[in-house]
Amino acid sequence: MPNILVSNIGFGETSLASLEVLKSIGNVVLNKKGIRFNEQDFIEKISDTDILIAGTEKITRSVIGAAKNLKLIARVGVGVDNIDLDCALENKISICYTPDVPSESVPEFTISLMLNLIKGIAVSNQKMHEKVWHRPMGRMLSSMKIGIVGAGKIGSKVISLIKSISPKTEILFYDPYLESKEQTVKRDIEQLFHESDIVSLHLPLNDQTSGLVDNRLLGLMKKRSYLINTSRGGIVDETALYQALANNHLAGAAIDVFENEPYNGPLTELDNCLLTSHIGSLAQEVRAIMEDQVVEDVRRFIGGQFLIRPLDGFNFSGQQA
């Protein structure tokens, strides 16, 4: 039976049946540490691994180099920026993932951050716990312009949720690969940052988008506007964001994803920065579906069948594990 290493934290806790299936088709090693594997953890454990089931932990060239038998990386989630894709390709390692599932939960999460930010809910909560009666003045979505950067699966759903809660809200979008989105207005990126009261990021992290939201774009934002990032940390320059929040140019930000995770950096010092620990897609229902889908593809891969959800260009299945 193939050796299956599961670095993804908590795998099997929401879908016991899937874990049982996995155990019936491979020798499974789970991440018992309950903390994110670093390069050293991988190097110690991965030498005889055929199949890796991973979350967002970094799968670097050194990790792949140490994994001489690795044939499949099954990603529980959607972003693959944590994998050295050039190296995976050179080594003909197949990759599958679950691209459609988080598009149900991340939009809901994004809207909850948006409302939380403009109504001051987290700030009021924090003050109450300090036994201080503080009443921050809120804003109404209906009077705000919202700029969506990246109008793919998640961005589009965020747009439709805003429309259903607040039909009067004007929505702008920027996406270089899309011409139009119903009931929204396309802008170039500078205009979008300049005009929006809230900018929400829903684009992938890659060479073009790394550090995209920098001093310049943040400087273009309206005074007392808001930034939300539930996409990937490396897209926002965290030092520039810290400055924009510390000098109150921005009224607030809600950040779920960080350049280096787990995060405990300077943004934690700021009251106007709502921080969450990369939980945008974490929902029991979604997690169970992602685990089921991953196990289904692992089972097919072991059986020599084509993957159902391969990453484009990374489908070398048909080779038995």
Q: Which are the catalytic amino acids?
A: 232, 261, 278
- Is 257 an interacting residue with respect to ligand NAD (CB under 6 A)? yes
Tokens linked to 37: 């594997």
255 binds ligand NAD (CB under 6 A): no
Strands 51-54 and 170-174 turn out to be unpaired
- Distance, in Å, from the CA atom of 87 to the CA atom of 91, rounded to the nearest integer, reads 6
Residues 213-232 that bind ligand NAD (CB under 6 A): 230-232
Sign for the CA dihedral angle at 47, 51, 57, 59 comes to positive
Q: Using only C-alpha atoms, what is the Rg of the chain?
A: 21
Q: Using the rule CB under 6 A, which residue among 10, 65, 204, 266 binds ligand NAD?
A: 204
Query: Contacts with ligand NAD in 77-116 (CB under 6 A)?
Result: 77-79, 102-103, 106
Q: Interface with ligand NAD includes 149 (CB under 6 A)? A: yes
- Which CB atom, from 158 or from 244, has the smaller least distance to ligand NAD? 158
CB-CB contact of 211 with 187 (8 Å): no
Choose the stretch contacting ligand NAD; rule: CB under 6 A; options: 24-32, 62-70, 173-181, 215-223: 173-181
Nearer to ligand NAD, 203 or 251 (CB): 203
Residue 130 C-beta: closest distance to ligand NAD, Å: 29
Q: Does 256 bind ligand NAD (CB under 6 A)?
A: yes
Q: Is 268 in the site for ligand NAD (CB under 6 A)?
A: no
Closest approach of ligand NAD to the CB of residue 97, in Å = 10
- 291 near ligand NAD (CB under 6 A): no
Q: What is the DSSP string of 253-303?
A: EEE---SSSS--SGGGG-TTEEE--S-TT--HHHHHHHHHHHHHHHHHHHT
Q: Annotate each residue in 180-199 with x if it binds ligand NAD (CB under 6 A) or - if it does not, as one string.
A: --------------------
| Closest C-alpha to 107, from 286, 310, 290 | 286
CA-nearest of 115, 124, 76 to 96 is 76
DSSP state, residue 84: -
CB of 204 to ligand NAD, least distance (A): 4
